[in-house]
């Protein structure tokens, strides 16, 4: 099968012919029709984070397609089912976290396109218990970005605990952020979006942001505090930039929540005095559970959220990564396969 493979950190991806994976008892094989390109894939190929991915690696954790093989112990999925393979490739299912509905914190998890090969390929293996069905009415291209960008931002918004009618700031309106804006609007929140460039900010406005701030033209936190005296009730920071996290922290009102989602490999210095006196919550949020994923897919199936996508192919991946590094992508790039 054809796959995009990275063999060394920071090396280019190569299109290779590699063996189709073999299905074990609890697996399914998915013929991939679309896979979104997440900034995490770029971090993986660069070896940016303390925990390193397998190498060589087939990246990709927004892969969607049809089930073409079913393991002997799989009874809830059948040939032809439309499914997606998220970042949470598998978890142990037995630890405190798994039992407590916090499976994304399981210490014994695997991650698609990181610790196991992912969906930048014509076929991808999935653990049947963690592959999620795509509701009717969603195309593969529309569904793919929801398997990471969608579920991650939907969950992060839940974690802010911002209520309908209250204010949330979305810092970084890229692949994740443009979906965050839509989920926030659908959840009844008032949104302020922060990014740079007319194209991204105009898109943010079209998607329902009440105010848009260009971080290259003004200080986002100062602008946010002027717009919402005291600051916003919650902020979700998806930007791949340490200064953006400082701005996010400074934008939150007393008692509010600053939810960290983006993963630049830096530290975030936090003033202890202000955090204590202001009762500010600083919370990390990692993707979402299978339940979160089902919910976030349903929002899209109901027409409340729609990923803005541009379709490319496996052969384009190095160019897509270069554009992503320069911040030149609006919405999400989705690679179409087997079409």
List interacting residues with ligand 8ID (CB under 6 A). Answer: 38-40, 43, 148, 152, 171-177, 194-196, 200, 215, 238-241, 243-244, 261-263, 285-287, 324, 327, 329
CA–CA dist 237, 261 (Å, integer): 6
Q: For the chain, how big is the Rg over CA atoms in Å?
A: 19
Residues in CB range of 272: below 8 A, 6 or more apart: none
Q: Phi/psi at 125 (nearest 5 deg)?
A: -80, 150
Question: Which pair of structure tokens corresponds to residue 124?
Answer: 């991808």
Q: Quick check: helix, strand or coil at residue 278?
A: helix
112 or 126: whose CB is closer to ligand 8ID?
A: 112
Task: List beta partners, residue 28.
Answer: 70, 126
Using Cβ positions, the residue closest to ligand 8ID within the complex turns out to be: 174
30 versus 159: smaller Cβ distance to ligand 8ID: 159
Stretch in the footprint of Zn ion (CB under 5 A) among 65-73, 110-118, 143-151, 241-249: 143-151
Listed ranges 141-149, 177-185, 271-279, 314-322: which one lies at the site for Zn ion (CB under 5 A): 141-149
How far apart are CB 174 and ligand 8ID at their closest, in Å? 2
Report in angstroms how near the CB of residue 331 gets to ligand 8ID at its nearest: 8
- Residues 31-50, one symbol each (x = binds Zn ion by CB under 5 A, - = not), give -------x-x----------
Helix (H, G, I), strand (E, B) or coil at 87: coil
Q: Does 170 bind Zn ion (CB under 5 A)?
A: no
Q: What interhelical angle do 149-160 and 175-186 show, nearest 10? A: 50
Q: Residue 34 binds what, of ligand 8ID, Zn ion, none (CB under 5 to 8 Å, by partner type)?
A: none
Three-state secondary-structure class, residue 215 = coil
- Does residue 240 touch Zn ion according to CB under 5 A? no
CA distance 160 to 163: 9
| 11 vs 284 by CB, closer to ligand 8ID | 284
Of 123 and 321, the one with the shorter C-beta distance to ligand 8ID is 321
Q: For ligand 8ID, give the closer residue by CB, 256 or 288.
A: 288
Which of 318, 323, 293, 330 is closest to 62 using CA atoms?
Answer: 293
SS3 content of the chain, % helix, strand, coil (to 5): 30, 25, 45
**296 contributes a contact to Zn ion by CB under 5 A:** no
Task: Find the shortest distance in angstroms from Cβ 36 to Zn ion.
Answer: 8
Note whether 146 and 37 are within 8 A (CB). no
Tell me how far, at minimum, the Cβ of 287 lies from ligand 8ID, in Å: 4
Rounded CA separation 117/20 (Å): 11
| Using rule CB under 5 A, residue 148 touches Zn ion | yes
Query: Binds 176, which of ligand 8ID, Zn ion, none (CB < 5 to 8 A, cut-off by type)?
Result: ligand 8ID
Cα–Cα distances (Å) from 193 to 180, 232, 236, 252, 297, in that order, read: 10, 12, 10, 14, 23
The residue (of 33 and 39) whose beta carbon lies closer to ligand 8ID is: 39
DSSP character for 327? T
Task: Say whether residue 238 binds Zn ion (CB under 5 A).
Answer: no
Binding site partner of 329, from Zn ion, ligand 8ID, none, Cβ cut-off 5-8 A by kind = ligand 8ID
- Decide if 84 contacts 134 (C-beta within 8 A): yes
Q: How far is the CB of 249 from Zn ion (least distance, A)?
A: 23
**Structure-block tokens of residue 249:** 């922290």
Work out what residue 238 binds among ligand 8ID, Zn ion, none; the CB cut-off runs from 5 to 8 Å by kind: ligand 8ID
Binding site for Zn ion (CB under 5 A): 38, 40, 148
């Amino acid at each position: 099968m054809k796959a995009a493979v990275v063999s060394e950190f920071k090396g280019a991806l190569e299109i290779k012919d590699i063996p189709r994976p073999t299905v074990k008892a609890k697996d399914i094989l998915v013929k991939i029709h679309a896979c979104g390109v997440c900034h995490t894939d770029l971090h993986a190929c660069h070896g940016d984070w303390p925990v390193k991915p397998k190498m060589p690696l087939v990246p990709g954790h927004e892969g969607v397609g049809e089930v073409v093989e079913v393991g002997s112990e799989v009874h809830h999925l059948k040939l032809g089912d439309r499914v997606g393979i998220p970042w949470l490739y598998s978890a142990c299912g037995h630890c405190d976290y798994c039992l407590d509905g916090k499976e994304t914190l399981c210490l014994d998890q695997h991650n698609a396109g990181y610790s196991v090969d992912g969906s930048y390929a014509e076929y991808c293996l999935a653990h049947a218990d963690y592959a999620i069905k795509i509701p009717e009415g969603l195309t593969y291209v529309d569904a793919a970005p929801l398997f990471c960008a969608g579920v991650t931002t939907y969950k992060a918004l839940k974690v802010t605990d911002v209520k309908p009618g209250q204010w949330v700031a979305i810092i970084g309106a890229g692949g994740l952020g443009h979906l965050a804006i839509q989920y926030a609007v659908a959840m009844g929140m008032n949104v302020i979006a922060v990014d740079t460039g007319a194209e991204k900010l105009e898109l943010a406005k079209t998607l329902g942001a009440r105010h848009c701030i260009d971080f290259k033209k003004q200080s986002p936190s100062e602008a946010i505090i002027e717009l919402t005296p005291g600051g916003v009730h919650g902020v979700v920071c998806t930007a791949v930039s340490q200064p953006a996290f400082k701005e996010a922290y400074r934008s939150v009102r007393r008692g509010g929540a600053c939810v960290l989602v983006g993963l630049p490999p830096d530290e975030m210095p936090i003033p202890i005095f202000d955090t204590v006196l202001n009762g500010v919550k600083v919370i990390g949020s990692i993707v979402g559970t299978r339940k979160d994923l089902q919910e976030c897919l349903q929002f899209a199936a109901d027409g409340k959220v729609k990923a803005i996508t541009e379709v490319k192919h496996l052969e384009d991946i190095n160019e897509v990564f270069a554009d992503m590094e320069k911040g030149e992508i609006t919405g999400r790039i989705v690679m179409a396969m087997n079409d």
